[in-house]
Amino acid sequence: MSSNIVVPEVGESIVDARIAKWLRKEGDVVSAGDPLVELETDKIDLEVSAPQGGVLTRIDRKDGDDVKVGEVLGVIDEAAAGAGPHPSADRSSGSSDRSSGSSDPEKTMRSSGSLDPEKTDRSAGSSDPGKIADSSKTRATPAARKAAEEHEVDLSRVRGSGDAGRVMRRDVEAASAAPSDAPAATAPRPASTVSSDGAAEQAPPAPASKAAKARPSAPSVEPVDRPVGDRSEERVRMSKRRATIARRLVEAQSTAAMLSTFNEVDMSAVMALRARHKQPFKERHGVGLGIASFFVKASVGALREFPRINAEIQGDEMVLKRYFDIGVAVGASEGLVVPVLRDVDRMSFAQIEKQIRDFARRAEDGTLALSDLKGGTFTITNGGVFGSLLSTPILNPPQVGILGLHKIQERPIALNGQVVVRPMMYMALTYDHRIVDGSEAVRFLVRVKELVEDPAALLLE
């Protein structure tokens, strides 16, 4: 009996995917549940497993192809399994892919735990027995273990990009292809000889012909020894997520009447409050008190007063939302994602800080769920963590407002007739001018400023 390998339904907002890499080839014997192919979507990456045991008799779509949900990728034939090798056999050299003393490395990994992906990096393998032991505990796909053995890569030092930090085959191949520290070749130098005292000297020129002697000699030009620069080019296809980001940003600029307004906020009160309560807050809640929670709370207070900034346009109607789901932009290695804090008006400062840190960790690990990314009524993005002093954020459709935070920088300001130095931050609000008036946007930003500069007022909100 044969069974089709199909693109699974991942979520209602995902209708297509891209084949990142086939992990098996035609003719391979597989068991039910074995990972067969890696798929890349605009939100998450996933593996498609074998629906039954048998032989992979046909692959219909190749690496790099774009496919739709429900589309057939290949076929597994159960009847042909009897003639093939055991799926754990090494298809290239006949050696076993599984470690000695365990018939199922995936069970071993699940029972023994995994390394923290935040503390690992990509590197070549090592002969250190301690590191080999760590490698056996690393969560990795069978294909990744196979590739690690072939390329002599230490799995314990590879950062996984799969679910829950699981090491994928592509991670191992990237670690194997990392540039070495071998010295670059030097450019050729003019021929020289070595004198009796060891000093290098130029070789004497060849005798000139009589005709050459008769002509006036041109001024001699010393050869310039310049290193040859790297002028190579590399063509890299955008990932599914990066292509989606590009498309949505262009759509936002072409469909919304975007305008930005700016203000600055004195962070003195927030910084002083954090200094007083930083340690007790962490001891009580197990998380540090950052600045993000202050702006999230301040945004909710301002959105209550200006509800059209917490709305969206549907046709010729404005949908005014009475709940507050605030998206927090997180920059991960695979691209920007915006996980959403649900009903943030009901959350405490500690809950907000914990959730944001969890989002940042899972965004880098690639373990955010689709439910984390859906919806959102307003977005906050903080370019200040990268050193940005001022920027104009782009809307996250269908939202009509986004607040941009920036670097906190000590600057001289005039206060009560005197020049004082204060920790200041520029804020930017980009809004859709189709339903948000300029005065409304300006007053919204002023209200955020007032609430942040007087943190006690946030408790009243």
The residues annotated as belonging to the active site are 433, 437
Please enumerate in sequence order all residues whose Cβ is within 8 A of that of 312, keeping only pairs 6 or more positions apart, or say none. 318, 319, 321, 377, 398, 399, 400
Q: Residue 422 CB: number of other CB atoms within 10 A?
A: 15
Give residue for tokens 């009509």.
400
C-alpha span between 179 and 174 (Å, rounded): 10
Q: Which of 44, 36, 447, 48 is nearest to 241 (CA)?
A: 44
Residue 11 in contact with residue 370, Cβ under 8 Å? yes
**Which secondary structure element, helix H or strand E, spans residue 112, and what is its range?**
helix 105-112
- Give, as one character, the DSSP assignment of residue 134: H
φ/ψ (deg, to 5) at 404: -105, 125
C-alpha span between 283 and 276 (Å, rounded): 13
C-alpha span between 107 and 346 (Å, rounded): 40
Residue 31 in contact with residue 53, Cβ under 8 Å? yes
Beta-bridge partner residues of 341: 326
C-alpha span between 445 and 303 (Å, rounded): 10
Which amino acid, residue 78? E
Structure tokens at 223: 């050869």
Which amino acid, residue 115? L
Please enumerate in sequence order all residues whose Cβ is within 8 A of that of 237, keeping only pairs 6 or more positions apart, or say none. 64
